[in-house]
Amino acid sequence: MSLTTPPIAAKKPHVETHHGIDVSDDYAWLRDPGYPVVTNPEVLAHLNAENVWFEQRMAPQKRQIDALFTEMRGRIKEADSSVPQKDGNFRYWIEFEQGAEYKKWWRQPIEGGPDQLILDEVALAAGLDYFRLGALAVSPSGRFMAYSTDQDGSERYTIRFRDLSGTLADWGGSEVPGTIGGGVWGADESAVLYSLCDENWRHRTILLHRIGSDPASDVTIYHEPDEGFSCAVVLGAQERWIIIQTGDHDSSEVRLIPAADPLAAPILVKARQPGIEYEVDLHGETLFIHTNDTHENFRLATAPLANPGAWTTLIEGSDEFYLTGFDLFRDFYVIDGRVRGLDRIEVRYYDDPARIEPIEFPEASFSAGLGENSEWAMETLRLSYESMVSPASVIDYDVAAQTFETLKVQEIPSGYDAALYTTQRLEIAARDGTLIPVSLVERKDRKPGGPLHLYGYGAYGIAIDPGFSTTRLSLVDRGFVYAIAHIRGGDDLGRAWYKAGKLEQRCNTFTDFVDVAKGLIELGLTQAGRISISGGSAGGELMGAVINSDPDLWGAVAAHVPFVDVLATMLDPNLPLTPGEWPEWGNPIEDKAAFDLIRSYSPYDQVSAQAYPPLLVTAGLNDPRVTYWEPAKWVARLRELKTDQNELLFKTNMGAGHGGKSGRFEGLKETAEEFAFILWQLGLKP
- Active centre residues (catalytic): 537, 623, 658
- How far apart, in whole angstroms, are the C-alpha atoms of residue 623 and residue 611? 30
Which DSSP string do the residues of 157-186 spell out, in sequence order? EEEEEEETTTT-PEEEEEEEEEEEEEEEE-
With a CB cutoff of 8 Å and minimum separation 6, the contacts of 37 are none
CA 630 – CA 384 distance, rounded (Å): 37
Peptide bond into 36 cis (omega under 30): yes
Which residues are within 8 A (CB) of 19 and not within 5 positions of it... i.e. 6 or more apart? Answer: 592, 595
CA end-to-end span of the chain: 29
Could you please report the per-residue DSSP string of 24-44?
E-TTGGGS-TTTTS---HHHH
In angstroms, the CA 605 to CA 620 distance is 21
CA distance 235 to 189: 13
Closest residue by Cα to residue 249 from 588, 481, 585:
585
> How many whole angstroms separate alpha carbon 181 and alpha carbon 621?
20
Q: Which amino acid is at 565?
A: D
- Residue 460's contacts (CB-CB under 8 Å, 6 or more residues apart) are 249, 489, 490, 498, 538, 584
Taking each helix axis from N to C terminus, what angle separates 666-681 and 62-74, rounded to the nearest 10 degrees?
130
- Residue 242: C-alpha distances to residues 41, 206, 254, 261, 288 (Å): 47, 11, 10, 10, 14
| Helices vs. strands in the chain: H and E counts, helices first | 12, 38
Q: Going by C-beta distance under 8 Å and a sequence separation of 6 or more, which residues neighbour residue 83?
A: 93, 382, 394, 407, 408
CA distance 516 to 512: 6
278: left (phi over 0), alpha (psi -120 to 50) or beta: beta
